[in-house]
Amino acid sequence: MSTRWTPKTQMGRELTEAPAVVKKQLDHNKAAIDSLVSDLRANPPKFVVTCGRGSSDHATLYAKYLIESQLGIPVVSAAPSIVSIYNRSIASKDALFIAVSQSGKSPDLVKNAVAARDAGARTVALVNVTDSPLADTVDHVIPLMAGPETSVAATKSYIATLSAIAQIVGGWTQDPAFNKALVTLPASLEKALGKDWLDAADAIAKSDGLYVIGRGPAFAIAQEAALKFKETSSLHAEAFSAAEVKHGPMALVTKDFPLLVFSQQDASRESVEGFLEEMRAKTDNLFAAETGHADIKGHLPVVEDIHPLLAPIAMIQTFYTLAEHVALERGCNPDAPPHLSKVTETH
């Protein structure tokens, strides 16, 4: 399908590179991933600890849903300050420790990786800069291969992280259907760039804030989408699980309050459909990215022929085109948001 969107910023140009980045990963990361998953299959960890900040932390939530749902191994997100500020080591013997960073330079992530390694964990870094302090610290390095990303708003590096996580889980589970779908992920991302979500732009751009909703793996991209609205459009957005938002947060929903909902075609679909049906009676600005339902107001088209666990990666690809458009409508420069820099070195 044709789209009205064309890249107008560095953020837009970089997000169009994501399909090629994922193709490069698939072509060049096999040896590194095979080495890691061979170890994991021979000696499965008792649990997994993830460590990242911002978009990287949102990517680790995707890892949590994939690893727990496909392997039954618990995944917890580390609070980096426990090690870096409070100087308390965490009992992570027999764990798999996964650190995610584009630059690999943040001191707190490096300290956490060192502490996890010293405590007996197997350590992995998903990192774009492979000659970085974080990469030098861990047992296994999985290059993101996103190349230079100069826009402050991460796009292709976030997608590259999700893709790397999916490739690790695919190797770990040896699931034939999932691994077959991974091979076609670059083509799915190209299709995602051709989906048009700009009908949602005007209502979102004119709002004072919105909720971004997902469930399962899509909750991870809901968190990323909410962050992108904040940093590129100076627009307050909050992410919630479709299972949680109907509690206190619903008090803010009015007829004009926008909701952006991501729904993949998996076991969560029925509950999200019920949520959407209920919300259509509460707001006129409900936008739903899902398969089918093209005749319903607020429908956002998605890549249909994609594995449910990979669908959120394609949806966030399309979302970034919407985010760029909303930013420009609001008079913002998504390449250089106020008060932000590309690399944040947290201690």
Interval 144-188: pLDDT, tens: 999 988 888 889 999 999 999 999 999 999 999 999 999 999 999
pLDDT digits (tens, 9 = 90+) for 57-66: 999 999 999 9
Which tokens in the block code for residue 150? 């100069």
pLDDT digits (tens, 9 = 90+) for 214-240: 999 999 999 999 999 999 999 999 999
- Alpha-carbon distance of 206 to 325, in angstroms, equals 12
What is the predicted pLDDT for the residue at 293?
A: 84
What is the number of domains present in the chain?
2
The DSSP bridge partners found for residue 49 are 76, 97
In a domain, 1, yes or no: no
Domain span at residue 32 reads 10-183
pLDDT digits (tens, 9 = 90+) for 229-287: 999 999 999 999 998 887 777 778 889 999 999 999 999 999 999 999 999 989 999 99
In a domain, 338, yes or no: no
Which tokens in the block code for residue 252? 């803010």
- Alpha-carbon distance of 4 to 294, in angstroms, equals 18
Based on the fold, state whether residues 26 and 153 are members of the same structural domain. yes
Catalogue the E-assigned strands of 205-313.
209-214, 236-241, 259-262, 286-289, 299-300
Based on the fold, state whether residues 168 and 214 are members of the same structural domain. no
| Cα dihedral 58/64/65/70 (nearest 10) | 150
- Alpha-carbon distance of 226 to 166, in angstroms, equals 22
Based on the fold, state whether residues 142 and 36 are members of the same structural domain. yes
Q: Last residue of some domain: 148, 183, 218?
A: 183
- Identify the DSSP state of 67: H
What is the predicted pLDDT for the residue at 1?
A: 41
- Alpha-carbon distance of 44 to 345, in angstroms, equals 32
Mean pLDDT (the chain) is 93
In a domain, 242, yes or no: yes
Based on the fold, state whether residues 99 and 148 are members of the same structural domain. yes
In a domain, 340, yes or no: no
Based on the fold, state whether residues 164 and 202 are members of the same structural domain. no
Side chain identity at residue 240, one-letter code: F
- Alpha-carbon distance of 26 to 164, in angstroms, equals 9
Based on the fold, state whether residues 164 and 27 are members of the same structural domain. yes
In a domain, 347, yes or no: no
What is the predicted pLDDT for the residue at 205?
A: 97
Burial environment of residue 177 by CB neighbours within 10 A (0 to 12, 13 to 18, 19 or more) = exposed
Based on the fold, state whether residues 120 and 240 are members of the same structural domain. no
Based on the fold, state whether residues 142 and 268 are members of the same structural domain. no
DSSP 187-205: HHHHHHHT---GGGHHHHH
pLDDT of 345 higher than 60: no
In a domain, 303, yes or no: yes
Based on the fold, state whether residues 30 and 147 are members of the same structural domain. yes
Which tokens in the block code for residue 35? 């080495």
pLDDT of 2 higher than 60: no
Based on the fold, state whether residues 268 and 134 are members of the same structural domain. no
pLDDT digits (tens, 9 = 90+) for 90-147: 899 999 999 999 899 999 999 999 999 999 999 999 999 999 999 999 999 999 999 9
| Distant-in-sequence, close-in-space partners of 327: CB < 8 Å, separation ≥ 6 | 9, 232, 233, 333, 334
- Alpha-carbon distance of 20 to 39, in angstroms, equals 29
Based on the fold, state whether residues 230 and 282 are members of the same structural domain. yes
Q: Which residue has the higher pLDDT, 77 or 337?
A: 77
In a domain, 226, yes or no: yes
For residue 153, give the CATH number of its domain.
3.40.50.10490
List residues with catalytic annotation.
Answer: 342
Q: Last residue of some domain: 183, 216, 231?
A: 183
Query: Residue with structure tokens 């999916």?
Result: 166
In a domain, 319, yes or no: yes
Cα–Cα distances in angstroms (integers) from residue 236 to residues 41, 213, 246, 326, in the given order: 43, 14, 19, 13
Based on the fold, state whether residues 153 and 274 are members of the same structural domain. no
